[in-house]
A and B are shown apart, each in its own frame.
Chain A
Amino acid sequence: QVQLVQSGAEVKNPGASVRVSCKASGYIFTGYYMHWVRQAPGQGLEWMGWVNPNSGGTSYAHKFEGRVTMTRDTSITTAYLELTRLRSDDTAVYYCAREKGDGYNPTDYWGQGTLVIVSS
């Protein structure tokens, strides 16, 4: 069965960086894009971007360009999200989500979420 297991919660100081991992299993990792979506406390969903696990190609929401990097390691079927120059308003639950295909499809499996708290 498809599973996405994310790394644990993080507490970071403003200005620091965070890396969240998403371990995929139960399907062919390189066959499906991986998206990252975040949700601030009590707020809605915000799409951050995707990584193509096959090629490593990425597409980022403009808002995050310059601060976000999405990568993958196919040998261990894991996707990564790195966000730099953290601010207090980056405090959120970060989700990885598998796309139902390889571009321009909805997401059908989601990780459990990783809480990132940015606070001094």
Chain B
Amino acid sequence: DIVMTQSPDSLAASLGERATINCKSSQSVLYSSNNKNYLAWYQQKPGQPPKLLIYWASTRESGVPDRFSGSGSGTDFTLTISSLQAEDVAVYYCQQYYTTPFTFGPGTKVDIK
């Protein structure tokens, strides 16, 4: 199975500050035939199901604010919130869908300082 790790476990930033979350996979999730990274990011607020933010490592889901961006390739990926808002307080998960089982990272909790 592909193991996903995330860092940090949690972070707190001031409103308007940049927040960065890292995700690493134990093997590459880049499919060479289509040059796509099979990596998604989800946001989960308390008591709610996860919400898809980013897929193919950098494609923003429809309706997601443009302060959320994804980058990276192969085994190393980053989710950036360019200007943290109060409504961004949540746990963020990366997931690989390159091969089954579609494993998730352990999550990163984001709070306001």
Q: Is the CB of A47 within 8 A of B103?
A: yes
Q: Which residues of A contact B55 (CB under 8 A)?
A: 100, 105-106
Chain B, interface residues (CB within 8 Å), range: 20 to 34
Q: Which residues of A contact B42 (CB under 8 A)?
A: 45
Q: Nearest Cβ in chain A — how far from B105, in angstroms?
A: 8
**Of A61, A62, A107, most B-chain CB atoms within 10 Å:** A107
Q: Is the CB of A111 within 8 A of B49?
A: yes
Q: Is the CB of A106 within 8 A of B40?
A: yes
Q: Which residues of A contact B101 (CB under 8 A)?
A: 47, 49, 61-63
Chain A, interface residues (CB within 8 Å), range: 20 to 34
Residues facing B in A83-103 (CB within 8 A) are 95, 97, 100
Q: With the chains together, A97 CA to B104 CA distance in Å? A: 14
Q: Is the CB of B104 within 8 A of A44?
A: yes
Which of B38, B51, B98, B104 meets A45, CB within 8 Å? B104
A59 adjacent to chain B (CB < 8 Å): yes
What is the interface of chain B, defined by CB distance below 8 A to chain A?
A: 1, 38, 40, 42, 44, 49-52, 55, 61, 93, 95, 97-98, 100-107
